[in-house]
Amino acid sequence: MSKCVFAGTFDPFTKGHLDVIQRLSKMFDTVYVVVSKNASKNTFADGKQRYEMVKDCVSFDNVHVELYQGLLVDFCNQKGVDCIVKGVRNAVDFDYERLQSSVNKELGNIETLFMPCSDNMGFLSSSFVRELLALGKDVSAYVPEQIAQKISELYSKK
């Protein structure tokens, strides 16, 4: 049985994230989408809110959304997963994720696969969406419709 993990802070969850998950759901028997906390990021939504938003958007039978705080390699070992998938948009993403993959291999003997984004998603990032939100712009074209309103409301409270 093939299993993989796709992890991120998902702050916020975008159509690009959903695209990768959809593609992974066709390639693996089980996909764990792990909503994590990154100590170096100041998120606009707390972990539970981000988890709920991802859960609202993901409806594939073989995809499980989990909220996890800790080392990703520990999660992988607990679930019997030996593959982390990282979506990459460009060379900058690849270089950053390649370094992370070395750490994951060293700490937990976990392999990393890199999945290039779909051609129409190369510009899309959570940072881009947050910048638009900060300027009071509509982000519904960039996030799943199930959560567009919720994201806008959450950000307006910050």
Task: Indicate the average pLDDT of the chain.
Answer: 93
Domains identified in the chain, total number: 1
141: which residues sit within 8 A by CB, 6+ positions away?
A: none
d(CA 39, CA 104): 17
CATH no. for residue 16? 3.40.50.620
pTM above 0.85, yes or no: yes
pLDDT, tens only, 117-136:
998 988 999 999 999 999 99
pLDDT, tens only, 43-77:
888 899 999 999 999 999 999 999 999 999 999 99
Token code pair at residue 67: 């909220």
* Residue range of the domain that includes 10: 3-156
